[in-house]
Amino acid sequence: MGLLKSYILPRLLQWLVVIVIGITITFIIPRLLPGDPVEQTVRRVSSTSVTDPRALEAFQNAIRDMYGLQGSPVEQYFRFWARMLQGDLGPSLSAFPTPVTTIIANGLPWTVGLLGTSIVISWLLGILLGTLAGYYPNRLWSQVLDKVLIAIYPIPYYILALALVIVFAYYIPIFPLVGGASGRPGLTWSYISSVVWHSFLPALSLVLIGTAFRFIIARALTTTIVSSNYVQYAELAGLPKRKIIFGYVMRNSLLPQVTDLALSLGALFEGALITEVVFSYPGIGFQLYTAILQSDFNLIMGVTIFSIVGIATAVLIVDLLYPLLDPRVRYR
Amino acid sequence: MATIADIRDLRAYYITDAYGVRRTVRAVDGISLAIRRNEIYGIAGESGCGKSTLLKILLGTITPPLTVVGGSVTYTFDGMPVDMLSLSEDELRAMRWKEISYVPQGSMHVLNPVRRIRDTFRDFIGAHVRTSPRETDEMVRAYLRDLGLPDKVLGSFPHQLSGGMRQRVTIALATILSPKLILADEPTTALDVVVQRGVIQLLQEIRERERNTMVVVTHDMGVHANLTDRVAVLYAGQLVEEADTRTLFAQPRHPYTQHLIRSLPKIDDKSERVSIPGRPPALDNPPSGCRFHTRCPFAMEVCKNEVPALEQIAPSHRVACFLVSERRAEASPPAIELQA
Amino acid sequence: MTVLRDLLRFSPSFRWGAMFLLVVLVLAALSFVAPYGPTERRVVPNNRPPSATYLLGTTTLGQDVFWLMTYAVRNTLIIAGLAVLIGRSIAILLGSFAGYVGGLTDRVLSALTDTFIVIPRLPLLILISFILRGNLSFVSIAVLIGLLDWAWPSKRYRSQILSLREEEFTQTAVFSGMGRLKIILREHLPFLIPFALADMVSGFLFAIGFEITLAVLGLSDLSTPTIGTMIYWATYYQSLLARRWWWFGAPIAISILIVVAFYLISTTLSTFLDPRTRLKNIAVKAGA
């Protein structure tokens, strides 16, 4: 176990570095770019009504404070971190005075649920189908599957989600167009089933692309592994096909796939964000969208920071699970 | 002398056709030999001479682009000859591991890296024999102990063992079901000399215990000298000389064999090692006539045009060389003698 | 190039991809002979469905969808191309530098690259474009997208260089006294170029995806017609609810065509050039 320190520690360190650098970048961006969010906000508010210049100034200061833009950059930076470590991301403008953290907390379960189930399903499907297709590359089903998924994989998340909405929610209205669920929240069957129903299309969109991606990688990996010495030997020795596919091929292809999963979590997350926008699914992505529409600066910052921390942590967790699968890392 | 495997005029080529280009590699081009029961038969030659292909055919793993275009391979295990080339995939699979087994080249990497040795043994044994896991473990433990391998090997993963240890584990894996014929492909390559000796001794021990037959393919003449009863020398897909080991090392007749033996380092011999110029020919376009003539220091005119036939010059000695047939015709003894 | 000729002859996937790409390029080229300017409005009667006069119908703003789309395709391709150029330049420089220099520099650069790979890009992109709202030009969008896509490719180039360095022919060249730069240019470049080609195509896919995403969120330069902005405006004017499928259907269809074309070309190209996979595609004839 002592040697795991050589594995765990660097990854913990990287987790910290990612968070610090990512958040610092998020901090720097609004202060570096032209365009003053305070200006924008004030202008939007004061354009709808005539206001007393003194009140305007007070308002400006309040906004400046809310956005954390008081004082010198260094002061801002430290205050930024201080607030964040206390879990304070500031109040949301559009839903004043609800704190950003509350809004994120409301949307988080939806996103996690959608993303989580999509990842699990697409991973399992993709690896299973991909490995089988890689092992039997000349069967008809394998080639058909390959062509179909190759056509799906490059389609941007937005386009696929939009296409699904158009076809299945609009022209053939089977599924609901918007929303996360209907009815009152609770552990009732009607509520839970409406959750599942509403999440079907968004999840389908994510699962299709996710499976295609996984399939392509699993297939390629399987092709390489099938020609490796130990698989060839096992086949020579007449081991039953099922044992070879699962115990020799798939088990070994899992290792690089797990590493790859860690790296593609970011892309999957982005896909979920954009899918939520299309389906008006009440997760973090949709909140981000409304924040853009309503120029809610704090909420946008908050979601960005949260995404960085969330993804970095998810990557860390996946990385830490890797040794459980690979005995070469676990022992010696 | 009972024959366990009889190969007659075997021809096997690799035929590829990609992107409009067709290529035929004549890996095995007319080889005839017989392997006797309970002997250790060596096959020698440089890389690219077709020895690995020959093994593949003996094992029955003939997959495209490899194709057998002529000849026959007959096995006689329990008194009944079997035409190996006509067996179905299922029949071949039933034969493997129980009758014929294989110790591959690069044995270091044939063990599944994510499975413990114990589980790998269970997999391999379980594919052929019906036993409970506990019985299998017992069998394996006893066998490993007999072969001098420590118990803790069972619970280890392959990467935790040294290269030599892995080689021996693979040999154990291939021989635990007491197959009658064991095919070993470069069993000592990539191992240091001390470990090589251990592997050679292991193979000898297995032959003693089980009274089985072995075919050992290697380019290392030292291994042949220490291990085999008879040796066949292959060049460019053809058999050029075959004799029992003592004779081969004492009186090699074919210039190529002489070169192979001469290039063996000897501790007390400080003379310069010479190598023959050139490289083994590409098998898709072999030289005309005797394939060795381009590199042979004694090449004659006839060597360029005609292929020398394999002649029996002594009860246990066959050579394919015009020098030898000429000499026989002239009835004068060969001028080259070497100390064994 | 003989590579292209061989691919066209032997790989049906490549043929399809090339065909789709041709259609796309023709569309983009047509934009130069369009009868209307890209930002002109109310030049044709609005909200007409596809007909003989208006091949793909017209928009609510009085634009011909077909000609609008030729501009959209052209602009999206230009933005993507620029983004790929910028992103890959950084990636190749960093990756190659790290790969060739090695040692501590390599480790620091790699650690940095790994950090940037984890950071999710979409939220950052949204943040940046939100702040620059209204000030985003055509070119700056391309620059933005390009600056976000250097981490992963840089890692790939680095590993290519590392494996090239280990190759025998490199050792031979080094031992025979060939200068380092010469090795890079003469020995390694022929391997890197095809790899870079296939890699750039995947960069295109990423850039197109992000351009569309940015536009539909309303964050890009909405006056310039691109595939993304077309969809944005189509949604803005409720063309979905009003059953005016041609306005959003056209960009969706064409975007699928573009990405599939690029993807087919990139995978068939890299499969063809990789000698290991080539061997697997070899057909076999049995018999003498």
Residue numbers in chain C where pLDDT is lower than 50 = 279-288
User: How big is chain A by its Cα radius of gyration, in Å?
Assistant: 24
CA of A155, closest CA in chain C: separation in Å? Answer: 6
Residue pair C57/C48 in contact (Cβ under 8 Å)? The answer is yes
Q: Is A35 on the interface with C (CB under 8 A)?
A: yes
Distance, in Å, from the CA atom of A132 to the CA atom of A151, rounded to the nearest integer, reads 19
pTM over 0.90: no
The alpha-helical segments, DSSP class H, found in chain C are 2-10, 12-30, 65-101, 103-118, 121-131, 138-148, 151-166, 168-175, 180-182, 189-216, 227-236, 245-273, 275-280
pLDDT at C2: 66
- Nearest residue, CB atoms, C260 vs list A30, A154, A270: A154
pLDDT at B339: 46
**Residues 22-41 (B) with a CB less than 8 A from some CB of C:** 22
Q: Name the residue of chain B whose CA is nearest to C10's CA.
A: B19
For chain B, give the mean pLDDT. Answer: 83
CB contact under 8 A, B123 and A252: no
Which residues in chain C have Cβ-Cβ distances shorter than 8 Å to A270? Answer: 120-122
Burial of B148 (0-12, 13-18, 19+ CB in 10 A): exposed
Token pair in block for residue B46: 């440089």
Please state the φ and ψ torsions of residue C132, each to the nearest 5 degrees.
-85, 10
Per-residue confidence band for A1, with pLDDT thresholds at 50, 70 and 90: low
CB contact under 8 A, C213 and A158: yes
Residue found under tokens 């501790």: B267
pLDDT at B295: 82
> pLDDT: is C7 or B200 the higher one?
B200
Q: Is B118 on the interface with A (CB under 8 A)?
A: no
Q: Is B182 on the interface with A (CB under 8 A)?
A: no
CB contact under 8 A, A238 and B96: yes
CB contact under 8 A, B104 and A229: yes
Interface of A with B (CB under 8 A): 228-230, 232-234, 236-240, 243, 247-248, 251-252, 255, 325-328, 331-332
Q: What average pLDDT does this structure show over A82-104? A: 79
Q: Is C118 on the interface with A (CB under 8 A)?
A: yes
CB contact under 8 A, A236 and B111: no
Q: Name the residue of chain A whose CA is nearest to C125's CA.
A: A304
Q: Which of A303-317, B268-282, C15-29, C128-142 has the lowest mean pLDDT?
A: B268-282
- Nearest residue, CB atoms, C10 vs list B15, B19, B70: B19
pLDDT at B332: 46
CB contact under 8 A, C286 and B15: yes
Q: Is A197 on the interface with C (CB under 8 A)?
A: no
- Nearest residue, CB atoms, B157 vs list A228, A236, A327: A327
Which residues in chain C have Cβ-Cβ distances shorter than 8 Å to B22? Answer: 285
Angle among Cα C45, C46, C49 to the nearest 5 degrees reads: 100
pLDDT at B327: 63
pLDDT at A122: 92
Distance, in Å, from the CA atom of A221 to the CA atom of A226, rounded to the nearest integer, reads 8
What are the residue ranges of CATH 3.40.50.300 in chain B?
Answer: 3-228
Q: Is A172 on the interface with C (CB under 8 A)?
A: no
Residue pair C211/C76 in contact (Cβ under 8 Å)? The answer is yes
> pLDDT: is B111 or C11 the higher one?
B111
Regarding an ipTM greater than 0.90, the answer is no
pLDDT single digits (tens) A45-92: 666 666 677 777 777 777 777 777 777 778 888 888 888 888 777 777
Q: Which CATH number fits domain B3-228: 3.40.190.10, 3.40.50.300, 1.10.8.50, 1.10.1200.10?
A: 3.40.50.300
Q: Is B64 on the interface with A (CB under 8 A)?
A: no
Per-residue confidence band for B232, with pLDDT thresholds at 50, 70 and 90: very high
CB contact under 8 A, B18 and C278: yes
CA of A124, closest CA in chain C: separation in Å? Answer: 23
